[in-house]
Amino acid sequence: MQNARFKFIAYKKNIIIRKLDSNILLFAYKTSNRYSKYFAVSVFTNIIDYVSSLSLK
């Protein structure tokens, strides 16, 4: 994967989840027309299953 590239993983409502590398996701919370409150988290589960479980709640 290229260093500075973001991979689009999922879009649900006002939250964007982008993959930084194999174990890091970047969450961006949308406020107004800008994306703010960026934070990265380590994800040790399968990304698709993780996003799906969030969507089902």
Q: What is the pTM of this model?
A: 0.21
The three-class DSSP label of residue 5 is coil
Is the confidence at residue 51, as pLDDT, over 50? yes
SS (H, E, C) 16-34: EEEEEECCEEEEEEEECCE
| Total domain count, the chain | 1
Residue 1 lies in a domain: no
Find the domain containing 43 and state its range. Answer: 7-56
CA 28 from centroid of its chain's CA atoms:
7
Q: Please, what sign has the CA dihedral across residues 14, 37, 50, 1?
A: positive
Rounded mean pLDDT of 5-10?
A: 43
Residue 2 lies in a domain: no
Q: What is the mean pLDDT of the chain?
A: 51
pLDDT for residue 44:
44
Contact 18, 6 (CB under 8 A): yes
